[in-house]
Structure 1
Amino acid sequence: MINDNFFYLSNVTDQELVFLKDITKNMGEEQRKSFSVVYNGKRRDPQHMLLFTLLGFFGAAGIQRFLTNQIALGILYFFTVGLCFIGTIVDLINYKSLTNEYNYQMALESARFVSP
């Protein structure tokens, strides 16, 4: 079953699970296992992203952008204190979509890695 390889992912969203099912539907069992191992190493947890975004209010603005490989925005947030907290508030509201976007990219990258 396709879900069996993803049951251990912490805080997986329904959108993410549907996307993972779609990516792995044409993979064999060994490829699915390899994919889940690679993907789990690259994936970000939405709750961790929320915590890192909250750190922006305590002087560590931009960590969430560094974790999603948006280095330029991370540097900008760091030196402008989260764009005067406005960017940090926006990221706080949209932390799930930031995480999902990053996880989709990592899922596609992982699928390319394990495909023959």
Structure 2
Amino acid sequence: MTDFVSLPGIEQEELLWLQELTRDYSIETRQRFLAVYEGRRKDPQLILILCLVGLIGPAGIHRFLMNQVGMGVLYILTVGLCWIGTIVDAVNYRKLTWEYNKKAALQSAALLGL
């Protein structure tokens, strides 16, 4: 079950959740799940960096990366909701990333038919 430790920026909550999700998987199935999940998962540090880029450049890039196109367009048109939205996202980047990664894990499991 230590396969997940190699994921960049993984935190204890995500690690425990993934271990619980894959608890009944065989080693081979867990490795297939990990391969799919790694391709979909976003690193929290990358989301933070893109939020901070939004303070000096185009805001909302992090929202596009998390497949929130509508919010990304809104951030671009409103300069990150007058930077307030971008600052809030920079403070809450771990929560934003965790929510995205949780959905990505469930989609990965569904894709594999698990």
Shift of 1:53: 0.3
Q: Is the 8 A contact 1:53 1:62 kept in 2?
A: yes
In the TM superposition, residue 7 of structure 1 has moved relative to its aligned partner by: 2.4
The unaligned stretches of length 5 or more in structure 2 are none
Could you tell me how far 1:113 is from its partner in structure 2?
1.6
Deviation at 1:48, TM superposition (A): 0.5
Alignment of 1:21-32 (within 5 A): 21-32=19-30
Residue aligning to 1:64: 62
TM-score (norm 2): 0.96
Count of matched residue positions in the alignment of Structure 1 and Structure 2 = 114
Which residue identity lines up with residue 60 of structure 1 in the other structure? P
CA RMSD of aligned residues (A): 0.9
Q: Structure 2 counterpart of 1:61, which letter?
A: A
Q: Of residues 72, 75, 91 in structure 2, which corresponds to 1:74?
A: 72
Other structure's SS at 2:63 match: helix
**Moved >2 Å (runs of 4+):** none
Task: Give the 3-state SS of the residue equivalent to 1:69 in structure 2.
Answer: coil
| Percentage of identical aligned residues | 46
**Structure 1-normalised TM-score?**
0.94
